[in-house]
Amino acid sequence: MMQPRRSLFIVPALLVLISAACLCGAPSQGLEGAGAPPAAEAPSGGEVQGTATASVAFSFVGATPQPAILEQRRLTLDFPPIIRVGDSEVIRLTLEVDDQGNVTPTASVEGNTVTGEIISIPNLYDTHNVIAEARFDLAGVEVRPPDLISEALLPGESVTFFWSVHPESSGTYRGTIWLHLRFVDKVSGAESRRTVSAQVVEIEAASFLGLSGGLARTTGAVGSLVGGVLGIPFIDDILKFLLRRRKK
């Protein structure tokens, strides 16, 4: 009588251990990653800085300063590093005004000494229409929209770009998210373009025992039902066994 009872607990314990080991390969960073996203350094396109600075070095052409956007901005890329095969995930790129808001440009004279003298830099918004353009290049994965997305960049306002990513087969995919600014002269209509950021993104499409996300959920639901039906006749025995153990 003792043998089947022992196996009753040894077998599930082993299976639970195997299942837990398999789950370690799954996209299991959800809880740790969702709460506090780590700020990572972008591979290219812009220098990552810990704190916002008030004095900013501007480039000058000849004696007159170049028109500039007199705002300090922050570019945030939010993406899932691991996606289940067959599932869709959203990637978000936001170009927002930094907490410091507008900056006071200061001139640097006599070596590296910053004097704090306020200089007059023409505001680009006064002379140009600024358009933020973004594109996500990722080969082997369905990305929507696949083309360039454009949005007007207005003073003090943020722009957000969304992409939907849908991997069809497992593997690791590397892509680049580009952000450009297009300046259109309000008077002449002349256009110029500047690349602000090009961030490399690596996405892993994961499958579980070769199953996609949707298939795993369906199989899991059906299997749980079948397992439950198969185990119904033993519920009484299991409850009696547990009660007996508690009495001891």
Partner 1 sequence: MMSKSVRLILAIVVLCVSLSLLAWGLWPTAHEARTVRIQPAELILPTPVQ
- d(C-alpha 36, C-alpha 132), whole Å: 28
> Is the CB of 8 or the CB of 149 nearer to partner 1?
8
Q: How many residues bind partner 1 (CB under 8 A)?
A: 93
Using CB under 8 A as the binding rule, whether residue 64 contacts partner 1 is answered as no
State the minimum distance, in angstroms, from the CB of residue 57 to partner 1: 5
> Is the CB of 144 or the CB of 237 nearer to partner 1?
237
Using CB under 8 A as the binding rule, whether residue 186 contacts partner 1 is answered as no
Using CB under 8 A as the binding rule, whether residue 37 contacts partner 1 is answered as yes
**Which residues make Cβ contacts (< 8 Å) with residue 214, sequence separation at least 6?**
86, 87
Q: Which helix (H) or strand (E) holds 30?
A: helix 30-35
Which amino acid is it at 112? N
Using CB under 8 A as the binding rule, whether residue 143 contacts partner 1 is answered as no
State the minimum distance, in angstroms, from the CB of residue 240 to partner 1: 14
Place of tokens 């350094």: 41
State the minimum distance, in angstroms, from the CB of residue 136 to partner 1: 14
Using CB under 8 A as the binding rule, whether residue 23 contacts partner 1 is answered as yes
Which amino acid is it at 121? I
> Is the CB of 52 or the CB of 109 nearer to partner 1?
52
* Stretch of 137-145, 156-164, 207-215, 239-247 contacting partner 1, by CB under 8 A: 207-215
- One character per residue 79-118, x = contact with partner 1 (rule: CB under 8 A): xxxxxx--x-x-----x--x----x-x-------------
Which amino acid is it at 210? G
- d(C-alpha 204, C-alpha 65), whole Å: 45
Question: Of the candidates 135, 163, 167, 199, which one interacts with partner 1 according to CB under 8 A?
Answer: 199
Place of tokens 């997305």: 149
Q: Which of 218, 85, 71 is nearest to 155 (CA)?
A: 71
Using CB under 8 A as the binding rule, whether residue 133 contacts partner 1 is answered as no
Surface-to-core class of residue 167, CB atoms within 10 Å of its CB (0-12 exposed, 13-18 middle, 19+ buried): buried
Check if the beta carbon of residue 229 is closer than 8 Å to that of residue 166. Answer: no
